């Protein structure tokens, strides 16, 4: 006993001594460069960011204001600032000076290309239907702006501030590390939290955050967040934590068999964003990488069963709704029932939201185990759009155009000839309807038709 007591005391004293040395060292050999010290002299008036930085690993490593914000005179956004050449934007290229692997992975990722989409239909939607200021405050805050430097070297306020993940920086690099590692803590722990991803991965058209929250994974995260060791540098699923995965766990972080990556698409075997779902390139390798994550907590039959259910679900999405809806709209355009323009017919809007909103909600809900999203916000909403909006509007449009035969053609090809759609013209199975009425009568003690 006595020996234990003495050893404990020794340990405590050594720890205390260690702290003293650390303190002394810091005092004698300052972590802070003299340039950074000069920055701090003036920037005390922004106490928030200084304190954030003082709590960061950067402070600990002696990386201060100047080390990140210093610029070369030839940099497009360099500006003279009280005798220093500095830049407001610290780009992934700048971060890459110390974090080369992370920067290279990020540059190769789909994230870095997030700005390109603003040249697509989504971008056209934003600019034409919305307008430039809505694109600046909306779209670009996730997708990234093309940051412009004005004549005087300052950043164009139409393009800055911006932390969109695909931002195009004055130095030509793409992305911004602070999209996830928020300045000026640049915390691993914060970036690993689902809320960080949820800044952009949420909403009517890609509700990953909402799906995660309603999934078992998200429920366990809320319950055991404090046990997840999220501030540990080494953060291996099943070893350093085991109660719940976050977005990072499955898409980025290490397992006993694979390392962390900042290239976020390397474990995705389906492209569930496209109108018709497609396998990704090298999907089998990517699927294996993801299954390796699952296996930290789930048995192989569990994982196989999950993917079997998912793949059947994606098949249903494609074959029952996505492809027929596309072909029906194409036919209406080809037959001159609706114009070939975009968003000038109600049917354009219905089709667009069917795959881009409801269809993604369904697929993300299925892929991340959120049953409410897979069904109510997903397939149910999509089926309603298909049967209760697309088809009746197609009928109406054909009648208005004096071409009822086009709608007959649609019914023949897509509805009557297909067992999964026949109910629409032939009605529900009357036996099942009777069963249901009986059930409701018992359950609610009232007639339900």
Residues 195-214 that bind a copy of itself (CB under 8 A): 195-196, 198-200, 202-205, 213-214
Nearest-CA neighbor of 398 among 335, 343, 350?
Answer: 335
| Cβ neighbours for 448, distance < 8 A, ≥ 6 positions apart | 436, 437, 440, 441
Is 272 near a copy of itself (CB under 8 A)? no
The minimum distance between CB 307 and a copy of itself, in angstroms, equals 9
- The radius of gyration of the chain from alpha carbons, rounded to an integer in Å, stands at 28
Strand partners, 149: 155
Window contacting a copy of itself (CB under 8 A); options: 66-74, 124-132, 168-176, 394-402: 124-132
Closest to a copy of itself by CB, 22 vs 100, is 22
Q: Specify the stretch interacting with a copy of itself by CB under 8 A; choose among 33-41, 89-97, 118-126, 169-177.
A: 118-126
User: Segment near a copy of itself (CB under 8 A), from 65-73, 101-109, 112-120, 407-415?
Assistant: 112-120
CB 242 within 8 A of CB 229: no
Please tell me whether residue 443 adopts helix, strand or coil conformation: helix
Closest CA to 245 of 307, 288, 180, 293: 293
Q: How far apart (Å, rounded) are the C-alpha atoms in residues 81 and 78?
A: 9
- Asked if 383 interacts with a copy of itself (CB under 8 A), we say yes
CA–CA distance, 261 with 265 (Å, rounded to integer): 9
Residue 8 within binding range of a copy of itself, rule CB under 8 A: yes
Are 156 and 148 in contact by the 8 Å Cβ rule? The answer is yes
User: Nearer Cβ to a copy of itself, position 148 or 413?
Assistant: 148
Q: How far is the CB of 51 from a copy of itself (least distance, A)?
A: 4
To the nearest whole angstrom, how small is the minimum distance from the Cβ of residue 184 to a copy of itself? 9
Q: Which is nearer to a copy of itself, 171 or 311 (CB)?
A: 311
Would you say 235 and 225 are in contact if contact means Cβ atoms under 8 Å apart?
Answer: no
- Smallest gap from Cβ 403 to a copy of itself, in A, equals 19
Q: Does residue 84 touch a copy of itself according to CB under 8 A?
A: no
Among 42, 97, 98, 219, binds a copy of itself (CB under 8 A): 219
For residues 156-187, one letter each, b for 16 or more C-beta atoms within 10 angstroms of the residue's C-beta and e for the rest, the string is eeebbebbbbbbbbbbebbbbbbbbbbebbbb
Dist CA 320 CA 316 (whole Å):
5
Residue with the two structure tokens 């690099």: 173
Q: Is 74 an interacting residue with respect to a copy of itself (CB under 8 A)?
A: no
Segment interacting with a copy of itself (CB under 8 A) among 48-56, 69-77, 262-270, 282-290: 48-56
Give CA–CA dist 386/322, Å, rounded: 10
Q: Which of 99, 273, 395, 409 binds a copy of itself (CB under 8 A)?
A: 273
Q: Is 142 in the site for a copy of itself (CB under 8 A)?
A: yes
Please, what is the minimum distance in Å from the beta carbon of residue 31 to a copy of itself? 19
Among the listed residues 26, 51, 282, 285, the single contact to a copy of itself using CB under 8 A: 51
Q: Does 387 bind a copy of itself (CB under 8 A)?
A: yes
Beta carbon of residue 224, minimum distance to a copy of itself (angstroms, whole number): 7
* Residue 16 binds a copy of itself, judged by CB under 8 A: yes
State the Cα–Cα distance between residues 174 and 108, nearest whole angstrom. Answer: 10
Q: Is 427 among the residues that bind a copy of itself (CB under 8 A)?
A: yes
**Binding to a copy of itself, residues 291-330 (CB under 8 A):** 295-299, 301-302, 304-306, 308-310, 312-313, 315-316, 320, 326, 329-330
State yes or no: residue 190 binds a copy of itself (CB under 8 A): yes
What's the min distance (Å) between Cβ of 411 and a copy of itself?
A: 13
274 sits near a copy of itself (criterion: CB under 8 A): yes
What's the closest the beta carbon of residue 118 comes to a copy of itself, in angstroms?
10
CA distance 215 to 218: 5
The yes or no reply on residue 440 touching a copy of itself (CB under 8 A) is yes
User: Is residue 177 at the binding interface for a copy of itself, with CB under 8 A as the rule?
Assistant: no
Q: Strand, coil or helix: what is 81?
A: strand
Contacts of 135 (CB under 8 A, 6+ apart): 118, 123, 126, 127
Q: Can you tell me the distance from the alpha carbon of 240 to that of 259, in angstroms, rounded to the nearest whole number?
A: 14
Place of tokens 């018992």: 442
Distance CA 321, CA 386 (A): 7
Residues 86-105 that bind a copy of itself (CB under 8 A): 88
Residues 323-382 that bind a copy of itself (CB under 8 A): 326, 329-330, 333, 339-344, 346, 349, 362, 365-366, 369, 371-372, 374-380
3 state SS of 309: helix
């Amino acid at each position: 006993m006595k020996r234990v007591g003495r050893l404990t005391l020794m340990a405590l004293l050594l720890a205390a001594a260690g702290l003293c040395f650390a303190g002394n060292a810091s005092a004698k050999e300052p972590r802070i460069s003299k340039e950074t010290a000069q920055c701090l002299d003036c920037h005390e008036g922004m106490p928030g960011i200084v304190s954030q930085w003082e709590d960061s690993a950067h402070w600990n490593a002696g990386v201060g204001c100047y080390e990140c914000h210093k610029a070369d005179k030839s940099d497009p956004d360099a500006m003279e600032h009280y005798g220093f050449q500095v830049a407001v934007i610290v780009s992934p290229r700048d971060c890459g000076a110390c974090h080369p692997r992370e920067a290279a992975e990020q540059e190769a990722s789909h994230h870095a290309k997030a700005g390109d989409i603003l040249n697509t239909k989504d971008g056209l939607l934003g600019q034409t239907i919305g307008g430039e200021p809505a694109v600046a405050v909306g779209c670009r805050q996730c997708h990234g702006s093309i940051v412009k430097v004005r004549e005087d070297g300052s950043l164009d306020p139409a393009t800055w501030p911006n932390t969109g993940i695909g931002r195009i920086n004055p130095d030509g690099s793409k992305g911004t590390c602070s999209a996830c590692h928020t300045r000026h803590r640049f915390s691993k722990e914060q970036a690993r939290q689902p809320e960080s991803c949820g800044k952009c991965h949420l909403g009517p058209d890609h509700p990953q955050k909402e799906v995660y929250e309603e999934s078992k994974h998200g429920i366990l995260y809320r319950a055991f967040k404090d046990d997840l060791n999220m501030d540990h540098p080494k953060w291996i699923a099943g070893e350093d934590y085991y109660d719940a995965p976050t977005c990072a766990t499955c898409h980025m972080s290490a397992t006993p068999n694979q390392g962390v990556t900042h290239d976020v698409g390397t474990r995705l075997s389906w492209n569930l964003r496209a109108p018709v779902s497609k396998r990704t390139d090298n999907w089998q390798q990517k699927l294996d990488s993801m299954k390796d994550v699952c296996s930290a907590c789930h048995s192989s039959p569990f994982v196989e069963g999950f993917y079997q259910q998912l793949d059947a679900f994606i098949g249903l999405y494609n074959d029952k709704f996505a492809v027929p809806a596309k072909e029906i709209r194409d036919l209406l355009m080809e037959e001159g029932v609706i114009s070939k323009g975009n968003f000038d017919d109600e049917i354009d809007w219905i089709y667009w939201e069917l795959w881009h909103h409801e269809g993604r909600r369904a697929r993300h809900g299925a892929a991340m185990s959120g049953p409410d999203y897979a069904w109510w916000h997903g397939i149910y909403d999509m089926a309603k759009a298909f049967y209760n909006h697309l088809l009746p509007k197609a009928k109406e449009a054909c009648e208005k155009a004096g071409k009822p035969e086009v709608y007959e053609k649609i019914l023949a090809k897509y509805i009557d000839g297909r067992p999964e759609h026949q109910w629409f013209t032939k009605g529900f199975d009357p036996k099942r309807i009777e069963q249901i009425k009986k059930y409701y009568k018992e359950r609610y003690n009232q007639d339900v038709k």
